[in-house]
């Protein structure tokens, strides 16, 4: 989707509505689910590690300040991209023991849970708080089914970033990060000759994160989008050649089974030249590792994806059967408020999902991210790994096929497996 941001301008009526509702809900008042007396709330995420926990901690502190009588239980399960958390959550949901709110990606991941009947419709929170024109329309569309909105987006992350250490690149004689994946391979040869690891890559989800961005760079935004709606043939020559490029990139990378932080650290420490990761890396490098953006670490769009924002959005839900609905509504109200988003996002390495947040709070990398996100000529595409483009069933088939691809390196077999799975469960 190509986005025009003018649509999101605040109307006078909406502004008034927001002002009227702000006193009640943005300050944590008014439950609405009969849960006024809730004395606790349990919130489930995968934000525990360095660079992940700080944003959540800022939101929790604000929640506790606003709701002193409500005990907050942080039910985070560690592990980047929620691989472990989603399994733990699935077990709880199956046992009919939902938390009061859980983290979910906008897009097909949300659509899967909506379809499975796991989520309450929270349109009333949008109406009560005057939120409907405070979020990009395309984002609301990604969490709406039959006119009902099901989640509250707290941020926008960018997946397609190539991170590097400017001083180290210079030291190794590299003038600038690569603009194409072929150029990356050329640089990799130079780096290897100097004994430098060209790229650090970690456990499976980080490999697939790299894969989606090699596909994006090699195919371009339109064909990349087509991968997810059936209009680009996975078994076509251009996709096979992009998969072959991915194999070459992996072949010159150091691939481990670690989570994203230790792999990012190699770039910060100058033991690897590049790392492809989402902008939560900014939170890790800037806040946890205390590095300065621009001099000690920097990022550009992954090769071939300049002008494209491969987006994902973390949102929070009200699961059916949530034991403390009133308190969950207070949590969701904080997540959707400008105050909540401006506390959370500068710590999280993401930009606010709301369009009316306070720009002055976003510095360094985040200042450019916000400009790029709000630039009407930016092309927006969605992330596979982070829940935007494939429903849960198809994504799980793609993950299985990737496991085989990792071993046998057969691009055509992988492409055909993804294509077949699309026909059976992806549509
Ligand atoms: C994403 C999530 C981000 C960040 C990342 C690494 O799926 O949306 O907020 O946590 O995983 O764990």
What is the C-alpha to C-alpha distance for residues 164 and 407, in angstroms, rounded to an integer? 28
Strand partners, 300: 162
Q: Among 416, 414, 382, 410, which Cα is nearest to 401's?
A: 414
What is the side-by-side order of every strand in the sheet holding 40-44?
Answer: 71-74, 40-44, 101-105, 314-317, 151-153
C-alpha angle 231-237-242 in degrees, rounded to nearest 5: 90
Q: For residue 79, give the ligand 1 atom closest to its CA.
A: 12
The CA 24 to ligand 1 mean position distance, Å, reads 31
Q: For residue 387, give the ligand 1 atom closest to its CA.
A: 7
Testing ligand 1's pocket by substitution, the residue of 80, 86, 155, 388 carrying the most ligand atoms inside 8 A of its CB is 80
pLDDT digits (tens, 9 = 90+) for 244-274: 999 999 999 999 999 999 999 999 999 999 9
**Strand ranges (E), 70-201:** 71-74, 101-105, 144-145, 148-149, 151-153, 155-158, 161-164, 197-201
Evaluate if residue 299 carries a pLDDT over 60: yes
Ligand 1 contacts (CB < 6 A) are 46-47, 52, 80-82, 105, 157, 278, 280, 312, 314, 386
Evaluate if residue 5 carries a pLDDT over 80: no
Percent of the chain with pLDDT over 90: 91
What residue owns the CA closest to ligand 1's atom 2?
81
Evaluate if residue 1 carries a pLDDT over 70: no
Evaluate if residue 153 carries a pLDDT over 60: yes
CB within 8 A of 202, min separation 6: which ones?
80, 255, 256, 257, 258, 259, 260, 262, 263
The CA 13 to ligand 1 mean position distance, Å, reads 35
Long-range contacts of 399-404 (CB under 8 A, 24+ apart): 399/204, 399/208, 402/204, 402/207, 402/208, 402/211, 403/204
HSE (CB half, 13 Å, CA atoms) of 133? 13
Testing ligand 1's pocket by substitution, the residue of 81, 351, 387 carrying the most ligand atoms inside 8 A of its CB is 81
Structure tokens at 374: 């709000």
- Could you tell me the pLDDT band of residue 19, with boundaries at 50, 70 and 90? very low
pLDDT digits (tens, 9 = 90+) for 41-57: 999 999 998 999 999 99
Q: For residue 155, give the ligand 1 atom closest to its CA.
A: 9
Say what the pLDDT of residue 37 is: 73
Structure tokens at 71: 């005990």
**Mean per-residue pLDDT, 132-148:** 97
**Mean per-residue pLDDT, 279-293:** 97
What residue owns the CA closest to ligand 1's atom 3?
81
User: Which of the two residues, 3 and 160, has the higher pLDDT score?
Assistant: 160
**Mean per-residue pLDDT, 289-316:** 98
- Could you tell me the pLDDT band of residue 300, with boundaries at 50, 70 and 90? very high
The CA 199 to ligand 1 mean position distance, Å, reads 20
pLDDT digits (tens, 9 = 90+) for 57-116: 999 999 999 999 999 999 999 999 999 999 999 999 999 999 999 999 999 999 999 999
Tell how strand 308-312 and strand 379-382 pair up.
Answer: parallel
Say what the pLDDT of residue 178 is: 99
3-state secondary structure at position 153: strand
Mean pLDDT of the chain: 92
**Mean per-residue pLDDT, 227-235:** 98
Task: Give the global pTM.
Answer: 0.92
Say what the pLDDT of residue 36 is: 52
What residue owns the CA closest to ligand 1's atom 5?
81
Say what the pLDDT of residue 30 is: 35
Give me the count of residues in the chain.
427
Evaluate if residue 18 carries a pLDDT over 60: no
Q: Among 109, 140, 113, which Cα is nearest to 391's?
A: 109
What residue owns the CA closest to ligand 1's atom 10?
81
3-state secondary structure at position 17: helix
Evaluate if residue 14 carries a pLDDT over 60: no
Testing ligand 1's pocket by substitution, the residue of 157, 277, 388 carrying the most ligand atoms inside 8 A of its CB is 157
What is the C-alpha to C-alpha distance for residues 427 and 421, in angstroms, rounded to an integer? 9
Which residue's entry shows tokens 């390495």?
A: 349
Testing ligand 1's pocket by substitution, the residue of 161, 204, 278, 389 carrying the most ligand atoms inside 8 A of its CB is 278
What residue owns the CA closest to ligand 1's atom 1?
81
């Amino acid at each position: 989707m190509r986005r025009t941001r003018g649509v999101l301008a605040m109307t006078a009526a909406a502004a008034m509505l927001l002002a009227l509702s702000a006193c009640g809900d943005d300050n944590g008042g008014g439950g609405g689910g009969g849960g006024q007396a809730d004395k606790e709330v349990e919130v489930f995420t995968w934000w525990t590690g360095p660079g992940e926990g700080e944003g959540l901690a800022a939101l929790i502190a604000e929640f506790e300040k606003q709701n002193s009588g409500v005990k907050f239980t942080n039910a985070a399960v560690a592990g980047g991209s929620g691989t472990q958390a989603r399994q733990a959550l699935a077990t709880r949901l199956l046992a009919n023991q939902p938390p009061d709110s859980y983290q979910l990606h906008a897009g097909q991941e949300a659509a899967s849970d909506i379809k499975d009947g796991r989520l309450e419709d929270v349109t009333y929170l949008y109406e009560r708080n005057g939120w409907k024109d405070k979020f990009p329309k395309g984002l609301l569309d990604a969490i709406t089914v039959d006119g009902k909105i099901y989640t509250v987006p707290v941020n926008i992350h960018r997946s397609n970033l190539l991170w590097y250490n400017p001083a180290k690149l210079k030291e190794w004689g590299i003038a600038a990060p690569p603009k194409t994946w072929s150029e990356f391979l050329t640089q990799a040869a130079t780096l290897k000759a100097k004994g430098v690891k060209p790229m650090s890559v970690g456990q499976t989800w980080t490999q697939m994160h790299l894969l989606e961005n090699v596909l994006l760079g090699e195919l371009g935004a339109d064909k990349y989008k087509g991968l997810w709606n059936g209009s680009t043939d996975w078994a076509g020559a251009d996709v096979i050649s992009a998969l072959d490029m991915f194999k070459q990139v992996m072949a010159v990378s150091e691939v481990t089974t670690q989570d994203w932080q230790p792999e990012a650290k190699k770039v910060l420490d100058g033991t690897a030249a590049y790392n492809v990761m989402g902008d939560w890396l900014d939170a890790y490098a800037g806040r946890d590792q205390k590095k300065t953006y621009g001099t000690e670490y920097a990022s550009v769009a992954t090769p071939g994806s300049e002008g494209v924002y491969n987006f994902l959005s973390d949102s929070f839900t009200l699961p059916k059967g949530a034991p403390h609905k009133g308190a969950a509504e207070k949590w969701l109200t904080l997540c959707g408020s400008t105050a909540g988003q401006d506390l959370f996002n500068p710590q999280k390495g993401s930009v606010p999902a709301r369009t009316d947040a306070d720009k002055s709070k976003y510095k360094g990398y985040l200042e450019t991210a916000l400009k790029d996100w709000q630039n009407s000529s930016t092309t927006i595409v969605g992330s596979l790994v982070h829940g935007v483009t494939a429903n849960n069933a198809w994504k799980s088939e793609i993950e299985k096929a990737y496991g085989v691809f990792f071993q046998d390196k057969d691009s055509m077999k992988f492409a055909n497996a993804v294509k077949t799975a699309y026909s059976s469960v992806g549509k």
